[in-house]
């Protein structure tokens, strides 16, 4: 059983027992106890802070995508907030087995508030369709949630401000497979400076999840010959998703 589900099941059992006990005590005339003080669900775990020991004694549950979006709020943690029209948080299935991570919203994504809705996005939809998947089956997001002006590369302070939210999204979804689309997201998620041409086509690990780096659809629009390599990468992803353990196998992990 999934340890998160087991903890929540035990919590529900404990809540039910405590409420029963409290009711009995109230029937005995002890009025100063309040049933409402026992929450139905565990509180969300605080986000991990790199380099800080946050203990672990307090029982908590994995936070949800909605809670992460709420925490992001009308973000002004970096200068990209000044030029954006909308925050582009991510779309798709919160329980997706496959998450695709791009770089940052472009003009159309900034206007619509949804990742990969421009020309590169239409190519991504075709790649997904060839894999037998639709947008609603997967979760799609970017490293950066706001559009960089003139689509320039994000700066280090902008990456530092946004990256924790991406990692929290990945932890909340806990997919079987992540696909990093292009140089930027592959290098950020794998904490490497290696070029995507060297990274692609081989399984990596990120946040305890199998990750396949591949070329960005925008690159494929300029270099259609790269589609052959992307399709090789997608075949590896499909096989991993089909395998009984679905991303939990250890056989060919680095």
CB of 236 to ligand URA, least distance (A): 21
Q: Are 189 and 178 in contact (CB under 8 A)?
A: yes
Q: Are 129 and 50 in contact (CB under 8 A)?
A: no
CB of 242 to ligand URA, least distance (A): 27
State the Cα–Cα distance between residues 59 and 126, nearest whole angstrom.
43
CB of 103 to ligand URA, least distance (A): 4
Q: Which residue is nearest to ligand URA (CB)?
A: 102
State the Cα–Cα distance between residues 140 and 99, nearest whole angstrom.
6
Nearer to ligand URA, 42 or 127 (CB): 127
- 205: tokens are 């690990």
State the Cα–Cα distance between residues 215 and 193, nearest whole angstrom.
15
Nearer to ligand URA, 92 or 121 (CB): 121
Query: Which helix or strand (DSSP H or E) is residue 65 part of?
Result: helix 65-72
Binding site for ligand URA (CB under 6 A): 102-106, 109, 115-116, 118, 120-121, 142, 218
Nearer to ligand URA, 24 or 153 (CB): 153
CB of 72 to ligand URA, least distance (A): 16
């Amino acid at each position: 059983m999934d340890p998160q589900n087991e903890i929540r099941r035990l919590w529900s059992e404990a809540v039910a027992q405590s409420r029963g006990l409290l009711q009995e005590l109230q029937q005995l005339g002890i009025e100063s106890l309040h049933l409402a003080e026992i929450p139905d669900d565990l509180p969300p775990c605080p986000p991990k802070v790199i380099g800080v020991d946050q203990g672990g004694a307090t029982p908590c549950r994995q936070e949800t995508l909605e809670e992460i979006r709420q925490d992001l709020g009308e973000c002004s943690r970096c200068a990209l907030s000044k030029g954006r029209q909308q925050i582009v948080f991510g779309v798709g299935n919160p329980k997706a087995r496959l998450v695709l991570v791009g770089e940052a919203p472009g003009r159309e994504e900034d206007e619509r508030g949804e990742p990969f809705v421009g020309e590169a996005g239409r190519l991504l939809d075709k790649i997904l369709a060839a894999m037998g998947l639709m947008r609603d089956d997967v979760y799609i997001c970017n490293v950066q949630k706001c559009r960089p002006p003139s689509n320039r590369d994000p700066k280090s302070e902008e990456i530092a401000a946004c990256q924790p939210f991406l990692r929290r999204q990945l932890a909340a979804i806990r997919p079987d497979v992540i696909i990093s689309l292009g140089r930027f997201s592959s290098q950020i998620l794998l904490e490497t400076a290696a070029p995507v041409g060297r990274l692609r086509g081989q399984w990596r690990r990120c946040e305890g999840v199998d990750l396949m780096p591949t070329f960005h659809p925008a690159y494929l629009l300029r270099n259609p010959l790269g589609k052959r390599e992307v399709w090789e990468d997608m075949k590896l992803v499909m096989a991993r998703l089909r395998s009984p353990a679905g991303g939990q196998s250890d056989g060919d992990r680095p």
